[in-house]
Amino acid sequence: MAMHLQRSIVAQTKKHTASLIFLHGSGDTGHGIRAWIKDVLKQDLVFQHIRVIYPTAPLRPYTPMNGAPSNVWFDRFKISNNCPEHLESMDSMCHILSSLVDEEVKAGIAKDRIILGGFSMGGTMAMHLAYRFHQQVAGVFALSGFLNKDSVVYQAVQSTKTSMPELFQSHGNNDQLVLYEWGKESCSHLQSLGVKTTFNTFPNLYHELCKSELEQLKSWILHKLPNDEQ
């Protein structure tokens, strides 16, 4: 089923020794977020040794759009941090995305040389994927993303004795769609459960990406996935 996920890939410029799976926000595509990042940075998010993979979520009915089809990783009852998670769609997508992780492992990349992350809904999906099913990955990032107050992610982290992947989060404090407080609260809760976290606040930023945010993310990625060939 994973083969049905369209993907845009930025190939590494030297030997592939690490992987980054970057998940887009709701209604977008892998090609779309790659183009957005390229527009903001004035270049692709490219590394000598890291393969960057931008999958596209399949079309599905999306409740916040009155059931209209959209490229979303999972369904939501509403865009709020104070409602139940749509676990059926989340679990199904975690299973599909796990196949992408497994493909990288089969290509010779160790789990601790893989980072999972995304923007908005993609960041939420990455936290579910990593903290519930792939706790050995090198790190997780969520840009303008959040977890619901009663998220099963918190339960998974609490019940696991092993150390968890580090979390990099960033959020604009003018975000009107995914409130800044939701992202901050998610980060604080994970930190209280023992997850090492970094939270970056971007003043006057809406529900969008900015250059300094992506540059900070790039530095963090290189810190977590250094080029061992150098």
Residues identified as active-site = 120, 175, 207
The per-residue pLDDT for range 83-117, each reduced to its tens digit, is 999 999 999 999 999 999 999 999 999 999 999 99
Task: Tokens for 135, please give them.
Answer: 């706790």
Task: Tokens for 62, please give them.
Answer: 């999306």
Amino acid of residue 142: A
**Is the residue at 90 inside a domain?**
yes
Buried b / exposed e along 92-102 (16+ C-beta atoms within 10 A)? ebbebbeebbe
CATH code of 208's domain:
3.40.50.1820
Using pLDDT thresholds of 50, 70 and 90, give the confidence band for residue 2: very low
Does 145 score more than 70 pLDDT?
yes
The reported pTM is 0.95
**Is the residue at 181 inside a domain?**
yes
Q: What is the mean pLDDT of the chain?
A: 94
**Is the residue at 230 inside a domain?**
no
Using pLDDT thresholds of 50, 70 and 90, give the confidence band for residue 217: very high
Range of the domain at 104: 2-224
CB 2 within 8 A of CB 101: no
Question: Pick from 1, 17, 13: which is nearest to 115 by CA?
Answer: 17
Q: Report the pLDDT averaged over residues 55-78.
A: 94
Number of structural domains in the chain:
1
Does 1 score more than 50 pLDDT?
no
Does 6 score more than 90 pLDDT?
no
**Is the residue at 161 inside a domain?**
yes
**Is the residue at 122 inside a domain?**
yes
**Is the residue at 229 inside a domain?**
no
Identify the pLDDT of residue 195: 97
The per-residue pLDDT for range 149-180, each reduced to its tens digit, is 999 999 999 998 788 999 999 999 999 999 99
